[in-house]
Amino acid sequence: MNRDHPDSTRPEADIGSSPGQARRLIPNPTLNRAARLGQPTEDRKLLSWTAEDRAQAAAFTHSDPWRVLRIMGEFVAGFDALAELGPAVSIFGSARTADTDPMYAAARAVGAELARAGFATITGGGPGIMEGANRGAAEAGGVSVGANIELPFEQGSNPYVNLPLNFRYFFVRKMMFVKYAEGFVIFPGGFGTLDELFEALTLIQTGKLGVFPVVLFGRVFWRGLIDWIDGTLLPEAKIGTADRDLLTITDDPAEAVQVMVDSYRAKQPGEDGALPAP
């Protein structure tokens, strides 16, 4: 009987393989279940593999329940990596843009100006416009995030990314672009760029996002789209005037960055709206 324990009526057990280790403890009915029933421990089950076990485990990794766990893991990894990022701007544009293209130089200038203003730059981490923006941010001493995505062809991050992330699922990656950004700067690009543009506009229009500036960079490139919006969508009341006003068009890196700075400061009530030091 253990008189030191408040419940001296409970049975006791000896543990330890040597006299120096022996102590008097109260049996744990939960942890002792396997021993009581003559079954292997959970660790033993986990570490014991048969050919059938391996086949079943392999098949499970191609099932939807496993995909849900993988998706959750991507969210956790992204949230963990970017939780302390600070204010940032996501930049989109064609991966096919050559480094001799003026738009590459403009993206590089925007990335650098954002870094000097205290913003991180987030891109897809690939070549073209993404590389230009990451390059400008890194060269100016800023945080340069690259969110790579698994595609049917070989992928790699551009050399100017200093905070790399990898994703298998587009919707998880897109969440990072929106959740951790103060706004978007959209350079000339293809379907992927248009997807990011109209997703942002839809999220703002439906109230899923609050104040979130969207800047179209390159007046000549975007002119056709703007003419269609102004000449078709607005007259046919497919969108409202307030929806059209969500877009800012510019050819000036400094103006694109100033839009982000002004928006950020406007969202800091009761504060001076100062951005963190680069």
Domains and CATH numbers, the chain: 68-266 (3.40.50.450)
Distance CA 134, CA 121 (A): 7
The residues, ordered by sequence, that sit 6+ positions from 142 with a Cβ below 8 Å of its Cβ are 111, 112, 114, 115, 116, 119, 120, 121, 278
Q: What is the pLDDT of residue 60?
A: 86
Residue 216 predicted with pLDDT over 70: yes
Q: What is the pLDDT of residue 12?
A: 45
CA 176 to chain centre: 3
Q: What is the pLDDT of residue 10?
A: 46
| pTM confidence score | 0.81
62-110 residue pLDDT tens: 899 999 999 999 999 999 999 999 999 999 999 999 999 999 999 999 9
For the residues of 23-76, what is the DSSP string, one character each?
A: EEE---TTTTHHHHHT---HHHHHH---HHHHHHHHHHTTSHHHHHHHHHHHHH
Q: What is the pLDDT of residue 277?
A: 56
- Assign 4 a pLDDT band (cuts: 50, 70, 90): very low
Residue 200 predicted with pLDDT over 90: yes
Across 10-14, 38-42, 228-232, 242-246, the highest mean pLDDT is recorded for: 228-232
Q: What is the pLDDT of residue 27?
A: 75
Cα angle at 268 between 264 and 273, to 5 degrees?
Answer: 70
Q: What is the pLDDT of residue 13?
A: 46
